[in-house]
Structure 1
């Protein structure tokens, strides 16, 4: 059962999910893409991103649909390792995994149309899905956002995400680089920094909260980044881990109030483009001092597939990290073999069904 504590004490989880092989979803996506003159890839994946390459959808008609079939392990991990969670808001276009127990007391199934303004629908844009989280009915002020490739492997306490009533995070500079392999993200990160620079002065912010930039326990690499960045008067970008992200719902409302135009522009795009994303909200929290400085990279392992498949399976089986991010890519070749390897590892530590399963 969800707890009866005050909203200030409750912590919810939010996880978006897409079934990329759902024929009705594909039909709607094809219709929208045809309207804007784009061809739709037949690649399917589970996750908040319906597209891999930003707002350009490549014709990939020979590619196979695929699903990692491991979302149940995410729920098992949460129930076993974070039983204190108040509510899980499961965000979906409308499809539900066949194994899901829709009557689970802590589960809130959220359709896009339940919280995203009608003017932005239908959407296949992860930025739209994320930037409107604060509109989810019943969402607690404190919540943690998970991608569906981020799993708990060990017990996690509330204090791992929020401390002193504020999100735990790390304030570190990291230059935005021109990455030809992912140009959309390069544009997004720079656009985020441009918005933030309207409200925060870099050097003044360092003076205002030096302990947030040079917190004992931060990785030495980021001490170095922050020291070097002091030579440059303007923001060049920020470091954000690819793991669970703790948010205050009110921060979303604040940024929407101040930057309605750019957020509306971003959300008006049916597919993800080089606008802004949820890192804007996360970095706003940090620059405004509404966070507790901590090395949140500690206990987090990141594995890129296919090359990191063996390492990922080993980390899962031996529970070497508290959290693992398993990031797949278009280069996965032996998909079935890698999927079986990863899911077998999950099954070895999470063999029992959760209350979220039938």
Structure 2
């Protein structure tokens, strides 16, 4: 099973008017508020509209519909741990085939969905047929596995979740000599289950890594063979930390002006570093959609709060600089490296957490194994850029200068020369390692803390030093994500964003800006905001209610 799931199968064009009219009115979580037709891969599909749609919710709804239909007709079944985190799988004994097909056909007649054969693989893969058509079921009487697919969309029809989240039903063959039911294909756990086994109930996290054991959800009927913790299962909490600033805040501007000094490099003090385009709102949407296993979210700010932020969700917290800086004389600070050096002091923060800038986004559903190993070790993602050897020069960018500082410490401590930075992806970190770095390099760490603006003497800890230090002490490994990076100050910005929206094949991506000025902000927002709204159309629980 891949840690990074493939992209959603499509992004819909504007909805085609259907029988329901497409009102988009809000309903209780999970309940569709309408059925409309949408264009999917050039064809029309009837889709259920959900105001609070997420990939995990689509999976839950489809699995619940299938298991509910089987239960209602008294068909013995068990949820299987399949090979794809997005696709639920249900096992049924071959002897119950007739009853199961009857139950599913009845469901298909009433549920506005599609059916397709999975095993044996049909000549046309994923050829979906209307599940209300009896002829579709007549062709499935000998199938070893089939799939029921619901198309589910948000009210704008920008987010379309279809076949990848459809529920598969597979028929397990009895082997009476061995007293087992044998699976028709591989799964993540067992090739067979006992025919005499007593059914049990297990939480959703047993069947998909998109669900968290820390967030109780519905329990599903399964077999004891599937209710086990595997060696690569992650059962520790994972939090997310953002650092955020609103550079348009006049009080913040005054504090900065009072202490502003000469920057080492023009980029270090560029106004574009502080421009607020509400990327944080959309980054949180991407988190809510694509990393539902995250426990708590911490927003580290300088006495600021986004106007749209809703703290009532219960797992999002504002953290001011003075709550985490042990050296209060270092405040106020406008140096992200100094702020990042104190993240391990956040009260209540999990040992394992992801650190994000507000311009980082989760592009599609990801398992926590993308970033961490089950033994607690972190992963890191090296960039292809190389840092020049030699001392810091006036030609070095601020980041290169800081990595050279990291390099000196790594060489002195481990005898290894680092030459690469990191990709701008969510950084997997551990509180204990950050605290250990502070103890191991006290003078350099303290100098970074006291540096109020980016300086050539700083360390860049979250971006670089943590990863190399953890790796060279046996607590991190290189990882891989399909990563995208978009620089706003490029002439083909529109084309790049259109490509990203159309393909949605990035696990994570960053929309960065180090050179633009406020004069360019309005023009960029005219392009960026529609892109982010189209890519992440579903509001997160962290947003105050407002007009869509």
TM-score by length of 1: 0.77
Measured after TM superposition, the shift of residue 2 of structure 1 is: 10
Over 3 Å counting, the alpha-carbon distance change for 1:241 and 1:53 in structure 2 is same
Measured after TM superposition, the shift of residue 18 of structure 1 is: 0.5
Over 3 Å counting, the alpha-carbon distance change for 1:84 and 1:52 in structure 2 is farther
**For the Cα contact (< 8 Å) 1:174–1:238, is it kept in 2?**
yes
Over 3 Å counting, the alpha-carbon distance change for 1:123 and 1:78 in structure 2 is same
- Which residue pairs with 1:273 in the alignment? 455
Cα root mean square deviation, aligned: 2.8
**For the Cα contact (< 8 Å) 2:371–2:479, is it kept in 1?**
no
Over 3 Å counting, the alpha-carbon distance change for 1:73 and 1:236 in structure 2 is closer
Unaligned residue ranges in structure 2 (runs of 5+): 1-211, 217-233
Structure 1 window deviating more from structure 2 (324-333 vs 151-160): it is: 324-333
Measured after TM superposition, the shift of residue 116 of structure 1 is: 1.2
**How far apart, CA to CA, are the structure 2 residues paired with 1:197 and 1:241?**
22
Q: Does 1:155 align with 2:365?
A: yes
Measured after TM superposition, the shift of residue 340 of structure 1 is: 2.3
Of residues 407, 416, 422 in structure 2, which corresponds to 1:240? 422
Of residues 514, 520, 525 in structure 2, which corresponds to 1:329? 514
Over 3 Å counting, the alpha-carbon distance change for 1:356 and 1:195 in structure 2 is same
* 3-state SS of paired residue (2:312): coil
Unaligned residue ranges in structure 1 (runs of 5+): 41-50, 203-234
After superposition, residues 1-358 of structure 1 pair within 5 angstroms as: 3=214, 9-33=236-260, 38=261, 53-54=267-268, 57=269, 66-117=275-326, 118-164=328-374, 165-170=376-381, 175-177=386-388, 182-202=396-416, 235-274=417-456, 275-278=458-461, 279-295=464-480, 298-307=481-490, 309-310=493-494, 311-331=496-516, 334-358=520-544
**For the Cα contact (< 8 Å) 2:370–2:479, is it kept in 1?**
no
> More relative contact order in 1 or in 2 (CA 8 Å, sep 6+)?
1
**For the Cα contact (< 8 Å) 2:377–2:475, is it kept in 1?**
yes
Q: Please state which structure has a larger fraction of its residues in strand.
A: 2
Over 3 Å counting, the alpha-carbon distance change for 1:236 and 1:138 in structure 2 is closer
Larger Rg: 2
Tell me the matched-pair count. Answer: 303
Over 3 Å counting, the alpha-carbon distance change for 1:322 and 1:236 in structure 2 is closer
Q: Please state which structure has a larger fraction of its residues in helix.
A: 1
**How far apart, CA to CA, are the structure 2 residues paired with 1:39 and 1:173?**
31
* 3-state SS of paired residue (1:12): strand
CA deviations 1:45-84 (Å, max 9, x no partner) are: xxxxxx9633xx58x8xx9x84312321111111111111
Measured after TM superposition, the shift of residue 174 of structure 1 is: 6.2
TM-score by length of 2: 0.51
**For the Cα contact (< 8 Å) 2:437–2:466, is it kept in 1?**
yes
**How far apart, CA to CA, are the structure 1 residues paired with 2:387 and 2:401?**
9
* 3-state SS of paired residue (1:53): helix
